[in-house]
C-alpha cells in the first residue's frame, strides 16, 4: 500500500508539491558575504535531487543591518525591479535554480530578527540598538553570568516608530518580490522562535497602544500588512506561507493566538507551518513501541500535549488551511501517523535532511520496512569549554552549529556524520 507521504499537495495559489515531505529551514552559515555563495548553492543542489516535495531555505534576512546570524544571505538595499537590479536577480536566480534543479518547488524563508539580532550580526554596528515593537530587552536568566551573557550578546532594543514599521514592511515586500523575480516558488514569513513577526504577535513583547498593539487583532496588523502588500507584487501562483511556533504561546493566550491565526488564514495564506513538539514518539498516536519504557518528564509531556492541542485546534477551526508540522520527525511511522491523524498536510524534516539529503527516498521506498525507514539522531555534542555556561543557553546553539557544519560538508560533497553519542 503506497504511503500517504507520497501524495501530492496542491496549495491555494495553484502550486503543486509532489509529495508531503518538506525539507525544513535550517541555519546553513554559508553566506560569508551575506549573499548567496557557491557553497550555499552546492548544498541546495544536493537537496534538489533528494526526492523532497518542497524545499524551504534557511533564513533570508530582509535587512543586512539587522541579522539573525553573521552568515545569512540578506537584502542589502532597496530592491527596485528585475531590470534595475539585474545582477542581483541573476545572483539569487542561481540559488533558486539550484534548489529546483530536479523539479522540487523551493520556498525562501524570509525574516527579521528584531531584538534578537546579535551585536556581531549585521552592518549596523556593535553598539547600535536593535528594532522591536516595544523596548523589552532580552532576558536569558537572573544570575550574574546570564545577565552578563545577555549584555554581551544583544544591545537594548528600540521601540519602532511608525516610520520604522513602514520601512520594515517595505523590506519584507522587497525581499518577496526579489525571491519571485529570481524564480523561487514562494516565501515563508518567519513568525516563530522570537523573531520580529513573533515579537509583534506576542503580548509579552508587544506593549504598544497604537495601531500595531493593544489587542490580538492590532498585534497581527504588522504581519497582515506584509502579506497584503506582498500579494500585490508577486505572481498569483507564488506561494506565501508563515511559520508559527506553538511553544511561543501559552494556554493563557490560546484564544488570542487562535484569533490571530483566523486573521492570517483570511489573509489568503497558502500554508502555515507549526513548529515545535514531536510526533516521532508513535505512542502518542497509538503506535507505541513495546520497549519504549523510559518516562518523559512532566515538562516535556505538557509541551507535547499543548503542541497536539494547538495543531488539532487549528485544523478543526480552519480545515481548508494547508498545515505543515515540523519538529522531531525521524521515521516513516512517525510522519505517517501525523498525516493519518489529520494533524497536518505536510511534514517538515530538518536535522535528518542535513545528514541524508535523500532521506525522502528512504521513507517513500515501499521495499524498505518501517523499522528501517528512519534516521534516529542523538543530541549534538557540546564543546568541553562551554560546560561552565548555563545548559539552556548552549544546548540549542550546539545543535544548530553541529548541523550547520553537516550542511557545509554536504555542499562540499563530503560525507556527513550523525552525532556520535
Residue ranges with strand state E in 191-279: 239-245, 271-275
Cell digits of residue 163: 516610520
Taken in order 86, 88, 92, 97, the sign of the CA dihedral is: positive
Unique residue bearing C-alpha cell 497509538: 286
Q: Which of 65-74, 239-248, 403-412 has the lowest mean pLDDT?
A: 239-248
| CA distance linking residue 159 with residue 141, whole number of Å | 22
User: Checking phi first, is residue 103 left (phi over 0); if not, alpha (psi -120 to 50) or beta?
Assistant: left
Number of H helices, E strands in the chain: 13, 12
Determine phi and psi for 299, rounding to 5 degrees. Answer: -65, -45
- Each residue's pLDDT tens digit, 49-59: 999 999 999 99
Q: What is the spatial distance between Cα 318 and Cα 274, in angstroms, rounded to a whole number?
A: 14
Tell me if residue 49 falls in helix, strand or coil.
coil
The answer for residues whose C-beta is within 8 angstroms of residue 345's C-beta and 6 or more apart is 9, 20, 271, 322, 323, 324, 339
Q: How far is residue 121's CA from residue 114's CA, in Å, rounded to a whole number? A: 12
**54 - beta bridge partners?**
22
Confidence of residue 294 (pLDDT cuts 50, 70, 90): very low
Taking domain 4-412, whether its CATH number is 3.20.20.70 is answered by: yes
* Distance, CA of 155 to CA of 345 (rounded, Å): 40
Nearest one of 347, 264, 355 to 54, comparing CA atoms? 347
- In 3D, which of 42, 111, 54 has the Cα closest to residue 412? 42
Q: What is the pLDDT of residue 287?
A: 40
pTM (two decimals): 0.93
pLDDT band at 306 (very low <50, low <70, confident <90, very high): low
Q: What is the pLDDT of residues 92-144, one digit of tens each?
A: 999 999 999 999 999 999 999 999 999 999 999 999 999 999 999 998 888 88
313 grid coordinates:
485546534
- Cα gap 158→154, rounded to integer Å: 12
∠ CA 22-191-59, rounded to 5°: 60
pLDDT of amino acid 215: 97
Q: How confident is the model at residue 210 (pLDDT cuts 50, 70, 90)?
A: very high
Higher-scoring residue by pLDDT: 301, 215: 215
Residues whose CB is less than 8 angstroms from the CB of residue 79 and which lie 6 or more positions away in sequence, other chains included: 85, 88, 174, 175, 177, 178
pLDDT band, very low/low/confident/very high, at 388 (cuts 50, 70, 90): low
44-75: burial string, b at 16+ Cβ within 10 Å, e else: bbbbbebbbbbbbbbbbbbbbbbbbbebbbbb
- Distance of alpha carbon 155 from alpha carbon 158, whole angstroms: 9
**Residues facing residue 109 across a β-bridge:** 59, 188
Spatial distance between the Cα atoms of 247 and 222, rounded to a whole number of angstroms: 21
Q: How confident is the model at residue 399 (pLDDT cuts 50, 70, 90)?
A: confident
Grid coordinates belonging to 189:
514569513
Strand boundaries in 15-105, DSSP class E: 16-17, 21-23, 54-61
Q: Which three cell numbers stand for residue 37?
A: 555563495
Helix or strand or coil: residue 239? strand
Amino acid at each position: 500500500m503506497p504511503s500517504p507521504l507520497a501524495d501530492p499537495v496542491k496549495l491555494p495559489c495553484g502550486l503543486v508539491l509532489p509529495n508531503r515531505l518538506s525539507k525544513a529551514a535550517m541555519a546553513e552559515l554559508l553566506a560569508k558575504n551575506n549573499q548567496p555563495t557557491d557553497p550555499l548553492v552546492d548544498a541546495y543542489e544536493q537537496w534538489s535531487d533528494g526526492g523532497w516535495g518542497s524545499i524551504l531555505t534557511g533564513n533570508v534576512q530582509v535587512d543586512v543591518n539587522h541579522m539573525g546570524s553573521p552568515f545569512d544571505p540578506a537584502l542589502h538595499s532597496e530592491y527596485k525591479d528585475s531590470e534595475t537590479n539585474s545582477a542581483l536577480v541573476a545572483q539569487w536566480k542561481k540559488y533558486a535554480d539550484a534548489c529546483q534543479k530536479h523539479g522540487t518547488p523551493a520556498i525562501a524563508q524570509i525574516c527579521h530578527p528584531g531584538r534578537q539580532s546579535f551585536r556581531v550580526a549585521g552592518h549596523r554596528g556593535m553598539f547600535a540598538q536593535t528594532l522591536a515593537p516595544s523596548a523589552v530587552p532580552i532576558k536569558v536568566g537572573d544570575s550574574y553570568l546570564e545577565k552578563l551573557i545577555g549584555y554581551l550578546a544583544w544591545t537594548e532594543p528600540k521601540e519602532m516608530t511608525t516610520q520604522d514599521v513602514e520601512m520594515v514592511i517595505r523590506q519584507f515586500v522587497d525581499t518577496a518580490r526579489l525571491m519571485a523575480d529570481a524564480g523561487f516558488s514562494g516565501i515563508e514569513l518567519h513568525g516563530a522562535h522570537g523573531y520580529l513577526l513573533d515579537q509583534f504577535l506576542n503580548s509579552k513583547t508587544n506593549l504598544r497602544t497604537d495601531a500595531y498593539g493593544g489587542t490580538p487583532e492590532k498585534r497581527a496588523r504588522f504581519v497582515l500588512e506584509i502579506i497584503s502588500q506582498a500579494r500585490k507584487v508577486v505572481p498569483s501562483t507564488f506561494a506565501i506561507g508563515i511559520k508559527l511556533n506553538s511553544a511561543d504561546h501559552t494556554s493563557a493566550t490560546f484564544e488570542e493566538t487562535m484569533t490571530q491565526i483566523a486573521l492570517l488564514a483570511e489573509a489568503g495564506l497558502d500554508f502555515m507551518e507549526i513548529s515545535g513538539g514531536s510526533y516521532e514518539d508513535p505512542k502518542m498516536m497509538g503506535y507505541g513501541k513495546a520497549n519504549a519504557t523510559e518516562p518523559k518528564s512532566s515538562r516535556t509531556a505538557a509541551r507535547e500535549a499543548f503542541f497536539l492541542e494547538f495543531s488539532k485546534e487549528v485544523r478543526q477551526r480552519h480545515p481548508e488551511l494547508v498545515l505543515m508540522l515540523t519538529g522531531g520527525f525521524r521515521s516513516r511511522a512517525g510522519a505517517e501517523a501525523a498525516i493519518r491523524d489529520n494533524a497536518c498536510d505536510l511534514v517538515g524534516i530538518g536535522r535528518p535532511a542535513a545528514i541524508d539529503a535523500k532521506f525522502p527516498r528512504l521513507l517513500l521506498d515501499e521495499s524498505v520496512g518501517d523499522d528501517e525507514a528512519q534516521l534516529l539522531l542523538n543530541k549534538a555534542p557540546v564543546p568541553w569549554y562551554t560546560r561552565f555556561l548555563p545548559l539552556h543557553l548552549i544546548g540549542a546553539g550546539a545543535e544548530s552549529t553541529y548541523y550547520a557544519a553537516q550542511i557545509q560538508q554536504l555542499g562540499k560533497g563530503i560525507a556527513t556524520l550523525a552525532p556520535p553519542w
